Amino acid sequence: MGTGDFALFASSPFLLWEKNMLIDLHSHLLPNIDDGSKSLRASIRMAKEAVDSGIKAALMTPHHMNGHYVNHKDDVIRLTSEFQKHLDNNDIGLQVFPSQEVRINGGLLQALDDDDILFADESNRYLLLEFPDDDVPTYSKDMIFQIMQRGITVEIAHPERNTKIMSTPSILFDLIEAGAVAQVTASSYVGTFGKKVEKFAEEIIKHNLAHVFVSDAHDLPNRDYEMVEAMAKLEKQMGRDYQELFETNAEAILDGDNVTSLVPEPIVKRKFFSKF
């Protein structure tokens, strides 16, 4: 995404949020384009809930190239600009920016060549990448290497809910050690998706394999904003410095700056799964 891609946002310049406010790098608020919000009214309500939860800036990350939804770059930019106008007209203090949640697939490198991919930042550094819920394709490591050879940092979506990573956590360790970053859904960490997902999210964090919390907000039951709750739990479990690390890393990604990473540690599968 070049600087010209944000020309539509002249009234809401990039990087204008207040510091020390929560930033959400993954949400499905745009209406009627994927499995997120199904109406503008629902999107407005979700945006109000985000602000009430302390979120002041959010990336709009509709699914792209996942086998069900295709949301091209230019369309997402246009729809995000329109949504910002609706938010402003309703006096909702949320800044929204265009991005995508891109499924790893055989056409991804070509989509990058075709300039049809949006990033998490204006400098095209961070790419939000998701795997299928129950798998990490065998070609993933090679493709991610090729992506990172282009100077792009892969940001892995919800690894704590991927059943393949849960059964083989070394997959995530290898990716993080190679330079990828990972976001954990806040609701996973506080138990909304069940105890097994919650415990695995805790293990990911304890082993320094995650860098930020996100909402991954959908207009679905039990998909509320739980960022504040997750941050409070993180401070209790890991300390204030670790909690602040997640906050500043979200700012860094949106700025296109370096995240702060602690030394990743492998999860011993036997130890984790003995709890269940």
The count of C-alpha atoms lying within 13 angstroms of the C-alpha of 262, restricted to the half-sphere facing its C-beta, is: 17
Q: Which residues of 112-129 are buried (b: 16+ CB within 10 A; e: fewer)?
A: beeebbbbbbbebbbbbb
The count of C-alpha atoms lying within 13 angstroms of the C-alpha of 140, restricted to the half-sphere facing its C-beta, is: 20
Asked whether the beta carbons of 215 and 185 are under 8 A apart, the reply is: yes
Distances (CA, A) of 76 to 96, 169, 171: 11, 33, 31
Kindly give the residue spans of alpha helices, DSSP state H, lying in 131-265: 140-149, 163-167, 170-177, 186-189, 195-206, 227-238, 240-255
Query: Quick one: average pLDDT of 215-242?
Result: 89
- State which H helix or E strand residue 73 sits in: helix 73-89
Residues 32-52: tens digit of each pLDDT: 999 999 999 999 999 999 999
Query: Quick one: average pLDDT of 257-266?
Result: 97
- Computed on alpha carbons and rounded to an integer, the radius of gyration of the chain in Å comes to 17
Weakest mean pLDDT among 7-11, 62-66, 188-192, 247-251: 7-11
Query: Quick one: average pLDDT of 180-189?
Result: 98
Q: What is the DSSP letter of 211?
A: -
Asked whether the beta carbons of 62 and 33 are under 8 A apart, the reply is: yes
Query: Per-residue pLDDT for 20 more than 90?
Result: no
Distances (CA, A) of 253 to 39, 70, 77, 131: 29, 24, 19, 20
Query: Per-residue pLDDT for 10 more than 60?
Result: no
Query: Per-residue pLDDT for 8 more than 50?
Result: no
Query: Per-residue pLDDT for 17 more than 50?
Result: no
Query: Per-residue pLDDT for 222 more than 90?
Result: no
Query: Quick one: average pLDDT of 148-158?
Result: 98
Distances (CA, A) of 101 to 43, 44, 68, 145, 265: 18, 21, 13, 18, 26
Question: Residue 221 — very low, low, confident or very high, per pLDDT cuts 50/70/90?
Answer: low
The predicted structure's pLDDT at residue 270: 61
Query: Per-residue pLDDT for 276 more than 60?
Result: no
CA neighbor of 107 nearest in space, from 98, 99, 116: 116
Residues 83-127: tens digit of each pLDDT: 999 999 999 999 999 999 999 999 999 999 999 999 999 999 999
Range of 17-21, 164-168, 222-226 with top mean pLDDT: 164-168
Residues 120-130: tens digit of each pLDDT: 999 999 999 99
Q: Which structural domains are found in the chain, ordered by start?
A: 22-273 (3.20.20.140)
Average pLDDT, the chain: 91
Q: What is the DSSP letter of 154?
A: E
Query: Per-residue pLDDT for 9 more than 50?
Result: no
d(CA 174, CA 168): 11
Query: Per-residue pLDDT for 13 more than 60?
Result: no
How large is the angle between the packed helices 195-206 and 227-238, nearest 10 degrees? Answer: 50
Query: Quick one: average pLDDT of 239-252?
Result: 96
Query: Per-residue pLDDT for 258 more than 80?
Result: yes
Asked whether the beta carbons of 161 and 188 are under 8 A apart, the reply is: yes
The predicted structure's pLDDT at residue 34: 94
